[in-house]
A = this chain, B = another copy of it.
Amino acid sequence: MKNLDDGSTSADWQTVSTETNFQNDHLEVVTEQTRTPSRRAPQPWTIVRRKRAVTIAALTSDRKLLLIRQERIPVRAAIWEVPAGQIDEKTELDAGAIAAVALRELREETGFELAEGGELLPLGDYFTSPGMTDEHVYLFLARPVRPSATGHAHEESESILDCQAFGAAELRRMIDQSEIRDGNTLGICAHLLARGLLSFDHK
């Protein structure tokens, strides 16, 4: 029996039945009957299963954050976001393997790479929308980064229009005005602010 972060044990969570509603290469929708630690009567819940993902805050040598501007079909808009990507492996990966995915996505989406002597720090993890999906995102900081010799390598399914680095004052304004408007970028900014790696000085 595995002890979970919230003090319960994995035996307290029991999946009584699973019905697969839909499945393709990108996601799976299931309706499960589940017993939870606080509710012993099974209740149905519809869950969207998706691959785990990485998101990476890349800081340039002048402490600016790299963002890409990307067309996002589900919301019909092009928005500024930190680079991110999915972890294709379904098995457990060690921290080093997940970090390698983060550096790969950074290079492919922005054309930047960790500078010599730079560091890659794990910042934690979060769930994008835990009432609906198991989507689980691992957060990283890379600093400093520099343009790579090979440049970016966008995947065919991606529509990345631009890449720029933004300072703290500009990031603060973009959040305030909802120009930064996705969970990954807001989430990683909250982590950078909590660690003092980014500061919105109001003095």
Taken together, the copies of this chain in the complex come to: 2
Number of A interface residues in the complex (CB < 8 A): 75
User: Which B residues touch A78, using CB under 8 A?
Assistant: 6, 8, 37-38
Please state if B38 and A26 are interface contacts (CB–CB under 8 Å): no
In the complex, A135→B13 CA distance in Å? 27
**A74 sits at the interface (CB 8 A):** yes
Chain A contacts with B in 91-150, Cβ cutoff 8 A: 124-136
User: Which B residues touch A193, using CB under 8 A?
Assistant: 189-190, 193, 200
**A50 sits at the interface (CB 8 A):** yes
Chain A contacts with B in 13-34, Cβ cutoff 8 A: 13, 21-22, 24, 26-27, 29, 31-32, 34
Instruction: Indicate which residue in B6, B26, B45 contacts A73 across the interface (CB closer than 8 Å).
Output: B45
Instruction: Indicate which residue in B26, B47, B186 contacts A187 across the interface (CB closer than 8 Å).
Output: B186
* 25 contacts across the A-B interface (CB closer than 8 A): A4-B76, A21-B22, A21-B29, A24-B31, A26-B46, A27-B29, A27-B132, A34-B73, A36-B159, A38-B161, A39-B71, A47-B73, A48-B48, A74-B127, A74-B134, A124-B175, A124-B176, A127-B182, A128-B128, A130-B182, A132-B133, A132-B135, A175-B190, A189-B190, A193-B200
Q: Report the 5 A-B pairs with minimum CB-CB distance, sorted nearest first.
A: A183-B183, A124-B178, A196-B202, A186-B187, A22-B22
